[in-house]
Amino acid sequence: MSNLLLLLILLPVASALVCYFVRSSAVRKLTVLGTAVVLTLASVGLLMQGTFEPIAVGSFLGISSDFLITVLDFALLGVIFYLGLKHKSLLIQGFTLAQAALLVWFEIVMLEHDAVPALVGDQLALIMVLVISIIGSLICVFAIPYMKEHEEHLHLKKSRQPRFFFYLVLFLGAMNGLVLSNNILWMYFFFEVTTLCSFMLIGHDVTEIATKNAVRALWMNALGGLAFVIGMMLVYMKAGTLDISAILAAGPQGALMITGVGFLCLAGFTKAAQVPFQSWLLGAMVAPTPVSALLHSSTMVKAGVFVVLRFAPAYVDTFLSTGVAICGAFTFVTCAALAIGQSNGKKILAYSTISNLGLIICCAGINTPLALTAAVMLIVFHAVSKSLLFLCVGTIEQAIGSRDIEDMRGLYAKLPRTALITVIGILTMLLPPFGVLMCKWMAIEAGADTNIFVITMLALGSALTVVYWARWGGSLMCSREQDTRTESQPMLTSLPLMLLCGGAIVLSLASPWIYNSMLAPWLGTAPFTLSFGSLNSATGSFAVVPLFVVLGLGVLFAAKAAAGFRRVKIMPPYLGGANSSTDGTYIGPMNGDVPFAAGNMYLGELFAEGKLTPIFNALAIALIVLMLGGAI
């Protein structure tokens, strides 16, 4: 058990060092592939061994592991402060100095330095390790050929891949350490490591806009780090321990504890890019696509929702719980609305990610077994489908030179495999019987027992979500062109895409058994029963396997009906009697030929990002202040 845990945390660190110091592309490729395989096997092995109680971690080279983490904490803050000086950011400098000062006070004056078991493995932690180690590894594998082509496009004289893969792989170890931590100080350290890694990866291309967005990400997450330290100190003042398992077992313990947990939730909000902190994640899309996939799907943003979920038992049935639910639901509906006005594929995915993270946080705030089921399962299904879609957009962008969904019309004629995988990825986010929609159904069921504001925002956000997914999917499927070319991709590009696509389908099909074997024991009170491949509750059921059977039959029928479509003559569109003699054009002003063109409506005036964002940010700040004020 201990060997597996150390492997999951320390192997990525060792592999990152190899990627950085051994400047051989062949060695780097083998290192990344080997790390991906070992992490995948280790995460599955840890799952097979089952949950485990908190365990201690011994010394390292004769140095206490807790002391080593403390030293690394201050070293990390020193690095972040230096970056604040380098980029002349007073916010980074101020937030970092405040963290360091509070940590000194905490370590020297407040903390009694009792031994605390460092690592724990409940069902939530094991599920998160699987998500990080498997999906994160596939993203790293995809990055091998992607970064080669990316640097060829930039015409770099000297490769930056050693540094890129150093932080990319290190990310995985930091995330595994965070989700397995039972000591709050350990969790804080790994929390800050992800902050540093995200800064370095967002600014990887060293352009002016990349640097600007990296600095913004750093100061916002430094604010989250400061909130984490304040929350940790307040929790310790009340509980007298850093042992997360003991804190959670005791449940809510008065205003001081609830306030401390409220600040921990605020730290989770910043890391998960909840409104009004969403701008750092939107800015992260300037980074190479594997960075976007890693930050938006399986790692950094999931660290934020994990913190809120991890401490949910400590604020159940409190005003803070209601406040968390309202803030999450607000992000869910507002970012779904902002996504409607976008045509940039990466930006749609970014807003969709923030929106879904808001839904997960809302479920953590609702804090019932049904809501927690929806939250954890949505983490899994969202990570698979969203990482798939980010990698698809990156592949498409390198092929056609654009990430605009309007430029993806007729994509099937040029990139049939990628287009089909992208459509499947979109459908897994949109339709039954796939897991994301099932989780939204669970969330709305859970929200029905809360206040009117939460359930209204969940219903409206779900409706808005349909608009931008259906529009994108429709654009991909509206091809009128014929092309006999076959798509050629490197194996390390196609393999992650195929595995993630298959995983999105298989995991949705297996969702009843995933719930029954992994979530029901963790929840204690099971909101669902399993029968005939369906999840049944007192208020309804989701017939997973029967719906998949219907879907399979529908796909077979559609394939048979469309078998001869390539032999059908494509006719020009009917243009209301104004067709000209040239196919695909109509008679326009001054009797001139005007080419026919199709395009989506983006309702720019109604869903104007520039106008709505300041309003949403102001409202979100007010909600967070009310949430923390109510807790105090």
Residue type, 15: S
How confident is the model at residue 531, as a pLDDT? 83
Q: How confident is the model at residue 564 (pLDDT cuts 50, 70, 90)?
A: low
Is it the case that residue 239 has pLDDT exceeding 80?
yes
Say whether the peptide bond before residue 54 is cis (omega within 30 degrees of 0). Answer: no
Inter-CA distances, 151 with 147, 169, 398, 492, Å: 6, 19, 12, 17
Q: Of all residues in the chain, what percent carry a pLDDT higher than 90?
A: 58
Is it the case that residue 80 has pLDDT exceeding 90?
yes
Q: pLDDT digit string (tens) for 309-365? A: 999 999 998 999 999 999 999 999 999 999 998 888 899 999 999 999 999 999 999
Q: pLDDT digit string (tens) for 372-400? A: 999 999 999 999 999 999 999 999 988 88
Tokens of 600: 């989506």
Tokens of 257: 């504890």
The values of phi and psi at residue 35, to 5°, are -65, -40
For the purposes of burial, counting CB atoms within 10 Å of the CB of 406, is it exposed (0-12), middle (13-18) or buried (19 or more)? Answer: middle
Average pLDDT, the chain: 88
Q: How confident is the model at residue 432 (pLDDT cuts 50, 70, 90)?
A: confident
Inter-CA distances, 31 with 12, 28, 121, 140, 473, Å: 10, 5, 27, 11, 37
Strand partners, 60: 63
How confident is the model at residue 576, as a pLDDT? 58
How confident is the model at residue 581, as a pLDDT? 67
Mean of pLDDT values over 510-533: 83
From the list 267, 285, 290, 264, the residue with the least C-alpha distance to 277 is 267
Identify whether the C-beta of residue 447 lies closer than 8 Å to the C-beta of residue 366. Answer: yes
* Helices and strands, number each (H, E), in the chain: 26, 7
Q: pLDDT digit string (tens) for 246-270? A: 999 988 888 899 999 999 999 999 9
Is it the case that residue 573 has pLDDT exceeding 70?
no
N-to-C CA span, the chain: 41
- 407 against 210, higher pLDDT: 210
Q: How confident is the model at residue 3 (pLDDT cuts 50, 70, 90)?
A: confident
Is it the case that residue 566 has pLDDT exceeding 60?
no
* Cα–Cα distance, 243 to 251 (Å, whole number): 13
How confident is the model at residue 10, as a pLDDT? 92
* Cα–Cα distance, 277 to 272 (Å, whole number): 8
- 632 against 278, higher pLDDT: 278
Strand partners, 541: 536
Q: How confident is the model at residue 582 (pLDDT cuts 50, 70, 90)?
A: low
Identify whether the C-beta of residue 428 lies closer than 8 Å to the C-beta of residue 380. Answer: no
How confident is the model at residue 614, as a pLDDT? 94
From the list 417, 400, 274, 2, the residue with the least C-alpha distance to 409 is 400
Q: How confident is the model at residue 210 (pLDDT cuts 50, 70, 90)?
A: very high
Tokens of 467: 């608009």
Is it the case that residue 448 has pLDDT exceeding 90?
no
- 576 against 215, higher pLDDT: 215
Identify whether the C-beta of residue 377 lies closer than 8 Å to the C-beta of residue 535. Answer: no
DSSP assignments along 38-49, one per residue: HHHHHHHHHHHH
Tokens of 203: 């600014």
* Cα–Cα distance, 351 to 358 (Å, whole number): 11
Pairing of strands 534-536, 529-531: antiparallel
How confident is the model at residue 321, as a pLDDT? 94
How confident is the model at residue 196, as a pLDDT? 94
- 128 against 488, higher pLDDT: 128
* Cα–Cα distance, 224 to 221 (Å, whole number): 5
Is it the case that residue 272 has pLDDT exceeding 60?
yes
